[in-house]
Structure 1
Amino acid sequence: MKRAGVLGSPIAHSLSPALHRAAYSALGLDWTYDSYDVTEAELPAFVGELDGDWAGLSLTMPLKSAVIPLLDEVDEVAGLIMSVNTVLPFGDGWRGTNTDVFGIVRSLTARLTEAPRHATVLGAGATARSAIAALAELDVREVLIVARRPEAAADLVRLAGSFGLTGHAESFEPSRELLARDIVISTLPGSVAEPWAALAREAQGTLLDASYHPWPTPM
């Protein structure tokens, strides 16, 4: 029986087991999928014990960057944004990829009615890095990075530049102006997003909330 699972810390809130088990059942796969509370310090030992029984791993915070040095190969986009959320068998080793970018692009494309040019990203973690890559695929020209830590926002501005986007770091002060964009992507945890929620409801653009816990989220 093949095994798979999602790693992170904390992990109890993850819906990945329910989603994957339902998919395996629909596909007739006799696979298991479980959640594992794994910290950055524990990750090397966990990856080192992977064997042929494993079909792959999903990764969430805080492991999306920490896993990269432990892998045999990382695909181009995941390497550029330094964020891996999926690990798959690769020859005798393991390969990292990122499905967040694809998911963000598909989700936004389903809602957009015209070509977007200006965007705002709330947050500066691993999911925000995926959001930058997704915005580049959508031919967005300019992105505002709103984060609590100025150094993290500056890092994302540099990342945006590497994808050909003009990036600007903004202070973490909720305002209508920062949300008056073609696209707003929130990667904020629910409680942190609360001050932005009322303003977001007034915005005319397309909002994507990457958080799903607690549900419904403030956004």
Structure 2
Amino acid sequence: MTIHHRAAVLGSPIAHSLSPVLHNAAYRALGLDDWEYGRFEVTEAALPGFLADLRPGDWAGFSLTMPLKRAVIPLLDEVSASALAVDAVNTLLLAPDGRRIGDNTDVPGLVAALRERGIERVPAAAVLGAGATASSALAALALLGAAEVTVYVRSAERAREMSALGERLGVAVRTADWARGAEALAGPLTVSTTPVGATDAFAAGLTATPGALFDVLYHPWPTALAAACAERGGTVLGGLDLLVHQAVLQWERFTGRTPGPLAAMRAAGEAALAAGA
């Protein structure tokens, strides 16, 4: 079998990424045997050199995870309006002429995942964290009609950044101290965008029935907070929901084919997680 088309995920750390499982499953589902998707450990400092060494035509594109979603922007020739709005690129397309084009599928992926679970509109919501994924969450909530979003943060600088983003998106952002994060779960929807273990302490603070929780982590799963919400009757979405929805959009951009095989990608992700991947 000859491989003619390549894509991969870049980031650091990257060994845990499920993206190769999802994308390669999609190729197999549609018989695209000349496509291959891999992964590369690339730090922020190494990214310029990695991109400079690429030859036009060798790669369709790359998925970007932390810490590259913002670091890549100065290295691009073109950035979509949606990616610029949230200052985060998770999809790098390589044109045949060598141009680097940045896009963001996290925002529409978040929206699609919520709509799949029947959450079509939210008047108000909360976000735990203030990194690149939190910015995408805020943009997604704006598309779902949220007029006010409370963002729980640890630093005044991040609070200012999220407030400024809210102004650009037309959403009233209220910032609150991170230590009060457990109170967010009483609202209709909370999006948790923080690393493993960051919200564990909030799980013990849940008393009443929580609203919906979208926790963007998928390993380990469930998180302590997701388990506590589910036990109390709340609707819980996990990182795999986001991962498959944003990945199918990336896959469509890389291959130029629509629609991407969402069900096959989800099944592959579920199987990999069940096997401890």
Mind listing any 5+ residue stretches in structure 2 that lack a counterpart? 227-277
Q: Distance in 1 between matches of 2:122 and 2:206?
A: 17
Who is 2:16 aligned against? 13
Q: Could you give the per-residue CA deviations for residues 15-52 of structure 1, whole angstroms, max 9, x where no partner exists?
A: 11111111111122221211111111100011112221
Counterpart amino acid of 2:66?
Answer: M
Q: Give 1:205 shift.
A: 1.9
Q: Is the 8 A contact 1:150 1:169 kept in 2?
A: no
* Secondary structure in structure 1 of the residue aligned to 2:71: coil
Which structure is higher in RCO with an 8 Å CA cutoff and minimum separation 6?
Answer: 2
Q: Distance in 2 between matches of 1:98 and 1:66?
A: 14
The 5 Å alignment of 1:101-180 reads 101-112=107-118, 115-180=121-186
Task: State whether residues 111 and 206 of structure 1, in contact with CA within 8 Å, keep that contact through their aligned partners in structure 2.
Answer: no
Match of residue 85 from structure 2: 80
Gaps of 5+ in 1: none
Percent identity for Structure 1 against Structure 2 = 51
Q: Which range moved further: 146-155 or 33-42? A: 146-155
Kept in 1: contact 2:128–2:181 (CA 8 A) = no
Hey, what's the Cα distance between the residues in 1 that align with 2:119 and 2:194? 25
Matching residue within 34, 38, 41 for 2:42: 38
Q: 1:49-88 residue pairs with structure 2 within 5 A? A: 49-51=53-55, 52-88=57-93
SS in structure 1 opposite 2:179?
A: coil
User: How far, CA to CA, are the matches of 1:103 and 1:72 in structure 2?
Assistant: 24
| Aligned 8 A contact 1:174 1:195 in 2 | no
Q: Give the distance between the partners of 2:206 and 2:168, measured in 1 at CA.
A: 28
1:25 maps to amino acid: R
SS at structure 2 position matched to 1:169: strand
Instruction: Tell me, yes or no, if the aligned pair for 1:119 and 1:144 is still in contact at 8 Å.
Output: yes
Verify the 8 A CA contact 2:191 2:213 in the aligned structure 1.
yes
Residue 3 of structure 1 deviates from its aligned partner by: 1.4
Superposition TM-score, scaled by structure 1 size:
0.93
More helix by share: 2
Aligned counterpart, 1:23: 26
Change (3 A) 1:114 1:45: closer
The one-character-per-residue Cα deviations of 1:158-198 (angstroms, maximum 9, x if unpaired) are 10111111101110114553222221000011211211234
Range with bigger deviation, 29-38 or 196-205: 196-205
Q: What are the Cα deviations for residues 45-100 of structure 1, in whole angstroms up to 9, with x where unaligned?
A: 11112221101100000000110111110000101111000011235212110000
1:203 Cα deviation from its structure 2 partner:
4.4
Contact kept in structure 2, 1:59 and 1:84, CA below 8 Å: yes
TM-score (structure 2 length as normaliser):
0.75
Distance 1:114 1:135, change over 3 A: closer
Q: Does the aligned pair in 1 maintain the 2:182–2:203 contact within 8 Å? A: no
Change over 3 Å in CA distance of 1:50–1:143 after alignment to 2? same
Q: CA deviation at 1:108?
A: 1.2
Residues 176, 203 of structure 1: 8 Å contact kept: no
- In 2, distance between residues paired with 1:90 and 1:133? 27
**Structure having the larger proportion of residues in strand:** 1
